[in-house]
């Protein structure tokens, strides 16, 4: 049976993925416009949209794999990778807010919400009941 904290991690982390994906969909026209305006990516033409879509799909796939290994397989490595990614997301968000790069529109609000959900989910990975979930299974002492 999975601990309550892991179930809460499930819900919050999956919600952060969905909110982030919705934000990417809303921001899609802006993303494509930036890619076509940039001289380095404008040469790609329609390939820029394919590359952007591929990067989004890869990000979602990685997030889902981390969720699976942390929440279903009790992988301590996945827990720490989620934590590092969350710290990077928070840092990026704070740098963006400090530099006014995060615009307060629907996409910006969704970005902030996705990072908040991811942060809350990560918090639940370190609750006492979750710590027991991630404890190594080979810690049982042998009587021999």
**pLDDT tens digits for range 117-138:** 999 999 999 999 999 999 875 4
pLDDT at 7 over 90: yes
pLDDT of residue 6: 97
pLDDT at 113 over 70: yes
On the 0-12 / 13-18 / 19+ scale of CB atoms within 10 A, 39 is exposed
pLDDT of residue 58: 97
The residue among 102, 110, 107, 111 whose CA lies nearest residue 30 is: 107
- Return left, alpha or beta for 100; rule: phi > 0 is left, psi -120 to 50 is alpha, else beta: left
- Return left, alpha or beta for 136; rule: phi > 0 is left, psi -120 to 50 is alpha, else beta: beta
Residue 89 phi, psi (nearest 5): -65, -45
pLDDT of residue 138: 47
Query: Taking the model in full, what pTM does it have?
Result: 0.87
Task: Write down the residue that tokens 């992988």 correspond to.
Answer: 75
Distance separating alpha carbons of residues 45 and 71, to the nearest angstrom = 40
Task: Write down the residue that tokens 């942060």 correspond to.
Answer: 119
Contact of 130 with 83, CB cutoff 8 Å = no
């Amino acid at each position: 049976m999975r601990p309550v904290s892991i179930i809460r991690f499930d819900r919050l982390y999956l919600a952060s993925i969905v909110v982030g994906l919705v934000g990417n969909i809303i921001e899609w026209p802006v993303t494509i416009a930036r890619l076509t305006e940039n001289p380095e990516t404008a040469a790609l033409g329609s390939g820029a949209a394919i590359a952007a879509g591929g990067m989004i799909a890869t990000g979602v796939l990685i997030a889902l794999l981390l969720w699976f290994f942390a929440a279903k397989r009790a992988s301590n490595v996945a827990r720490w990778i989620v934590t590092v990614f969350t710290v990077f997301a928070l840092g990026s968000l704070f740098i963006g807010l400090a530099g006014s790069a995060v615009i307060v529109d629907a996409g910006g609000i969704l970005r902030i919400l996705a990072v908040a959900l991811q942060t809350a989910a990560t918090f639940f990975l370190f609750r006492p009941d979750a710590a027991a979930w991630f404890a190594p299974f080979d810690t049982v002492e042998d009587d021999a």
